[in-house]
Copies of this chain bind each other. A is one copy, B any other.
């Protein structure tokens, strides 16, 4: 794949997926929804954040098709669309944990 084609695809990747992960609260929302479907105010309670903040983050995730909604009366239930986004985050967590382990090892053996 040449650089120009890759650039087109990476632009989309960034716009539609990666940019959604560039905020701690949005990552937290994804992990909460990985456990179970939740209503907006349930998420806001769990994360101890204003409802408007959570709604705004949910909008970002919704626009990118990372979460879907189902209205139930006056409430809206959110859920994960594609669990591979969690796999992807977990891979990064694994990288991070290995980094931390390696750092600790360096500190330990430097005596």
Interface residue ranges, A against B (CB under 8 Å) = 3, 6-7, 9-14, 16-19, 21-24, 27-28, 31-32, 46-47, 65, 82, 84-85, 87-89, 91-96, 98-99
Contacts and interface: CB of A to CB of B under 8 A. Distances in A.
Contacts of A46: 3
Contact of A99 (B23, B24, B65, B91): B65
Contact of A19 (B3, B22, B31): B22
B22 A18 contact: yes
11 contacts: A3-B47, A7-B28, A13-B96, A16-B96, A18-B89, A22-B22, A82-B95, A84-B95, A87-B91, A88-B91, A88-B95
Contacts of A89: 13, 18, 88
B18 A14 contact: no
